[in-house]
Structure 1
Amino acid sequence: MIKKISLIALVLTLATSCVSSKVYKELEGKYSRLKKENKSLADENEDLLSAKTSLENQLARLQKEYDETLARRNQLESDLAALNTKHDNLKNSYDALEKNSSAAIAKNAKENRELLAKLEAKEEALAAENERLEKLKKDLADRSKRVEELEALIAAKDKAMTDLKDAISRALTDFEGKGLTVEQRDGKVYVSMENKLLFKSGSWAVGTEGKKAVQQLGTVLADNPEIAVLIEGHTDNVPYSGSGQVKGNWDLSTKRATAIVQILSQNNSIKPENLTAAGRGEHVPVASNDNAEGKAKNRRIEVILTPKLDEISKLLNEI
């Protein structure tokens, strides 16, 4: 995502050579909105993971309750069988005693009535437990299905981003070892290009080699129209010493990001509304600025690619 935004920023710079105050403010506004959207996506991702954990916990509880209910049902069936046996024995005794003792008959009749009452109560309890068991079984199946659907969606999103990362790596293989890296983390793909591949010192004009890299990245992005692309420009902590319209590192990083956007926007298959350019100045370093090697790594364009999570959000709302 960051690399894509950086590419867009570079394209805009080449197209216009400079950014007007109005365009710059629009870019700042768009970056602010994207930053909020990025944070919202991160929060939403956390909510999705939390919802998944909650569903798994609910599934475990339902499974436990199902097992306990099944055990109670089995016990009730066992008790019912024992009571039926006892009832048969009492009935046999009753039949034998009926011929000899009215007192014994009365006693057996009482016990038989009590036993029949217990049997009826056990049968009612068993019916209630069977009904509850069926309901739990259905709830368990419904929850399992939702968890499986959620896991499938998350897996599909992860696979799509992995495929995107692999496609970008293949497209940019000619630039390996030239300050370009492609990584996947937190459900996003990060394409980072050091300025030595793209710009001369203090400039926001993209060189021939850098433009080729950005265009090749654009061919992959054109095949993924549902991916949001944030392009961020970054500098080291050395204050900008040039003259002209650039007012400092922050302004320079924004112009570089805009130059990348301009190059990417030349590809008609890339939706302009998916592209956002942002300047971060020296405020988000990835290495120490105390040495030349660290400064070189900090002078970079990052393209951050983020998938849309509408389907997952819809499923969570239905649960």
Structure 2
Amino acid sequence: MKLKYYLLAAILCTMLHSCVILSPKKYKALLAERDSLSNHNTSLEAQLSSLRADTMNLHHQLADLQNNYNALNANYNKLNDNYSSSSTKVSQLSSDLQKREQRLKEVEDALKKRDAATNALKDKLQKALLGFQNSGLTVDIRNGKVYVSLADKLLFPSGSIVIDERGKQALNQLAVVINKEPDINIAVEGHTDTKKVINLGQIKDNWDLSVLRATSVTRYLTETQNVDPHRLTATGKGQFQPIDPGTAADALAKNRRIEIVLSPKLDELYNLIKQ
């Protein structure tokens, strides 16, 4: 029994020896530290919550930025494709423009050659026909063609389709020039005034008179002066293309004429235009 008491006393002594009795001051300090730690923990939890919210916000911003980037990248790719396509079109247009400019230059050069040839032909005809220019003969250029206009009195007796000697001399001089210019096409046009044809036998009207006078000149040039008939065309214009619309005698005289239209062959020019 005593042994039990001794053991209990030993245990109590041991327990009392191991326990530390805190003073009120230390106890309060521990409580304050505990409260501080609790407040710090609360602050950390608030910061953690804020950081989580900020993280979520940043995720949303990142998603928006990624969407914007994807849209901008798609637009960039589209613009790049458009640029490539436009660049190809620009290159093609530039090439086409260079070709057109080259063709334009060739056409302009051909026109200059034509104009030079036309002016040279006019000069030759004026010199060859100088002696007839006071007898109702004129030489001028219209629309790139040389017009040799011969008054009817220079070629035909009144109301006749037979060329007289003075007219033949003028046509002989004309033939000398055109036979040396094989690249010239020739159109012989007959023109009359507005007076009606009366008592001219087979000639019914001004159409007939203009056509028959044109064919008379054409026959003379081909049969007598050996002008290549493949180069000639004979047409009658009647009274419908007057030089002077007046009704006075001098106006009517101007309208009664044969016009020989000489035009350089323009095959080269036409080929350039058709390309």
TM bracket (short chain): 0.5 to 0.7
Between the aligned partners of 1:132 and 1:299, the Cα distance in structure 2 is 60
Amino acid at match of 2:145: K
Tell me which structure has the larger Cα radius of gyration: 2
Q: Are the counterparts in 2 of residues 165 and 189 from structure 1 also a CA contact under 8 Å?
A: yes
Which ranges in structure 1 are unaligned for 5 or more consecutive residues? 1-120
Are the aligned partners of 1:167 and 1:220 in contact in 2 as well (CA < 8 Å)? yes
Aligned-pair distance for 1:132?
8.4
* TM superposition shift of 1:161: 1.4
Residue 263 (1) aligns with residue 220 (2): yes
Aligned equivalents of 2:100, 2:152: Cα separation in 1: 50
Mark the CA change 1:313 to 1:179 in structure 2 (over 3 Å): closer, same or farther.
same
Secondary structure of 2:217's match? helix
**Displacement, 1:289?**
4.5
Partner residue of 2:131 out of 158, 167, 174: 174
Tell me which amino acid in the other structure corresponds to 2:188.
I
**Per-residue deviation, 1:228:** 1.9
Q: Distance in 2 between matches of 1:142 and 1:273?
A: 36
1:223 is matched with 180
For each residue in 1:176-211, what CA deviation from the matched residue of structure 2 results, as whole angstroms up to 9, or x when unmatched? 121111111112111111111111111111111111
Deviation at 1:174, TM superposition (A): 0.8
Per the alignment, in what secondary structure is the counterpart of residue 315 of structure 1?
helix
Correspondence for 2:25: none
The 1:317/1:195 distance shift into structure 2, 3 A limit, reads: closer
Gap change, CA 1:130 and 1:170, over 3 Å in 2: same
- 1:272 and 2:233 matched: no
Measure, in 2, the Cα distance between the counterparts of 1:250 and 1:137: 55
Question: Which of 123, 145, 161 in structure 1 is aligned with 2:102?
Answer: 145
The answer to which structure, 1 or 2, has the higher relative contact order (CA under 8 A, 6+ apart) is 1
Are the aligned partners of 1:236 and 1:289 in contact in 2 as well (CA < 8 Å)?
no
Q: Taking structure 1 as reference, are residues 130 and 216 closer, same or farther at Cα in structure 2, changes over 3 Å only?
A: same
CA contact (8 A) 1:169 1:182 kept: yes
> Normalising by structure 1, what TM-score?
0.55
User: Is this contact kept in 2: 1:229–1:305, CA < 8 A?
Assistant: yes
For 1:218, give the aligned amino acid: A
CA distance in 2, matches of 1:276, 1:139: 40
Would the alpha carbon gap of residues 137 and 222 (structure 1) be closer, same or farther in structure 2, given more than 3 Å must change?
same
Instruction: Name the Cα RMSD after superposition.
Output: 3.2
Is the CA contact (8 Å cut-off) linking 1:215 and 1:263 kept in structure 2?
no
Gap runs ≥5 in structure 2: 1-76
